Structure 1
């Protein structure tokens, strides 16, 4: 779907998130694009799980900026609730934006956390990197 400016905002579809999936959102703050979160929750038909939930999830939507700390630690934390075959969508500020993270740092951190980047998508002012466990690539 497109808004009045013709910009596509069907972010859930771009991220491969569909009805019936369970998702958790972490790192959301005032600088995040609420349209991305709202698009996903609209497709899920319910709110994101809380970060403290012990339920397994199909997807983790992880907002991350350069100043948020060690990305490897953040990714390891995001893996804990992830079900087998699930994915982490790492959302970082786009190039030239405050808090942006170099693509090399994302792939290196993902590797150290036992993840592989499968694709990248531009989501408004944010860059999305899809990360899956190394074993998920063999299926």
Structure 2
């Protein structure tokens, strides 16, 4: 489930997800199976390296790679929003249906509100990964 082979497709996917130059993006759940070309496209579009899980910077966007078997999705989302700016976006990236580690929409819909997030849309992020866009309520989560 690693990298794709079409950098233009990755750039288009990243732009479609709404990434913008100058944004700080923090990444959670990285392992050797994530889509590295997608990650590089995010860095190229934003002009910043991805912040790792231990960074203390306030992030505009969080990429949260999550596979079934990674533990509790709610716990992963709590970690993901720790440094998220008010009004920031979480992109939950999960393996597409039929791939090992697939996470159902029902699991996502159950976990998101329990941590104060609202799943707003789902897209194909890359060849093997689906993306679910999550936001905090308009009134803020704090």
Partner in structure 2 of residue 102 of structure 1: 104
- Is contact 2:22-2:48 (8 Å) kept? no
Alpha-carbon distance change, 9 to 112 in structure 1, aligned in 2, over 3 angstroms: same
Q: Aligned partners of 1:110 and 1:50: how far apart in 2?
A: 22
Alpha-carbon distance change, 99 to 79 in structure 1, aligned in 2, over 3 angstroms: same
Deviation at 1:8, TM superposition (A): 2.1
Q: Does 1:45 align with 2:36?
A: no
Q: Aligned partners of 2:10 and 2:61: how far apart in 1?
A: 19
The one-character-per-residue Cα deviations of 1:87-126 (angstroms, maximum 9, x if unpaired) are: 1000000000000001011011001111101111112110
The one-character-per-residue Cα deviations of 1:55-102 (angstroms, maximum 9, x if unpaired) are: 111000010001110000110111111000101000000000000001
> What does 1:127-138 correspond to in 2, within 5 Å?
127-135=130-138
Name stretches of at least 5 consecutive residues in structure 1 with no aligned partner. Answer: none
Deviation at 1:53, TM superposition (A): 1.2
Name stretches of at least 5 consecutive residues in structure 2 with no aligned partner. Answer: none
Alpha-carbon distance change, 62 to 96 in structure 1, aligned in 2, over 3 angstroms: same
The CA RMSD measured in Å over matched residues stands at 2.0
What SS class does the counterpart of residue 66 from structure 1 fall into?
coil
The one-character-per-residue Cα deviations of 1:1-60 (angstroms, maximum 9, x if unpaired) are: xx9879722232021111011111111111111111010000111211121111111000
Alpha-carbon distance change, 135 to 69 in structure 1, aligned in 2, over 3 angstroms: same
Calculate the TM-score normalised by the size of structure 2.
0.88
Calculate the TM-score normalised by the size of structure 1.
0.90
